[in-house]
Amino acid sequence: MLQRLLQAFERIVMQPYWRLTRGQTLGVQGIVVRSETEVLLVRQSYAPGWQFPGGGVERSEHLIEALERELLEETGIAIRSAPRLHGIFANFREFKGDRIVVYIVEHWHPITAPRSKLEIVEQKFFSINLLPSDLNNGARRRLAEVFENNAISSEW
């Protein structure tokens, strides 16, 4: 019940608010890699399917700071060394001013339990060869770019 209320609140109230008050939105997501063949995915309470951990970049925040904050909040992990920039993608199907910056995080360590229990309902490592069927399409394309050497698209 609470999960449905959060989903409705996010979709009905927050997303329109952000779109009205911000000309552009910027998000950051991390492809967290374990053992070179597994990636960490999360399921959010307000969006269907699996996706990379991440979220919005605040006005006075650097991209890496936002990624570090979001990974800690959503998954309880900390980045050990600089992640690699994979690309910047236009998420214009969702909102004409939305962009997502994606980093590859290979050096990390768990430090705490995830703080965001209401936002993230599940987190799990998946083998690249056994990804969930309801993986977000943008995340699926990014994984094909990283692990199958597909050409990088500018679209999410």
Cα–Cα distance measured from residue 138 to residue 89, given in angstroms and rounded to the nearest whole number: 9
Q: pTM of the entire structure?
A: 0.84
Q: Is residue 27 part of a domain?
A: yes
Range of the domain at 41: 2-147
Q: Which of 121, 127, 146 has its CA nearest to residue 30?
A: 146
For residue 6, what pLDDT is reported? Answer: 63
Q: Is residue 156 part of a domain?
A: no
Whichever domain contains 57, its CATH number is 3.90.79.10
For residue 47, what pLDDT is reported? Answer: 86
For residue 104, what pLDDT is reported? Answer: 98
User: Are residues 148 and 109 in contact, defined by beta-carbon separation less than 8 angstroms?
Assistant: no
Cβ neighbours of 37 (radius 10 Å): 12
Q: Is residue 74 part of a domain?
A: yes
Q: Is residue 87 part of a domain?
A: yes
Which residues in the chain land under pLDDT 50? none
For residue 52, what pLDDT is reported? Answer: 98
Cβ neighbours of 128 (radius 10 Å): 15
What is the radius of gyration, based on Cα positions, of the chain? 15
User: Are residues 85 and 57 in contact, defined by beta-carbon separation less than 8 angstroms?
Assistant: no
Q: Is residue 153 part of a domain?
A: no
For residue 64, what pLDDT is reported? Answer: 98
- For the chain, the domain total comes to 1
Q: Is residue 132 part of a domain?
A: yes
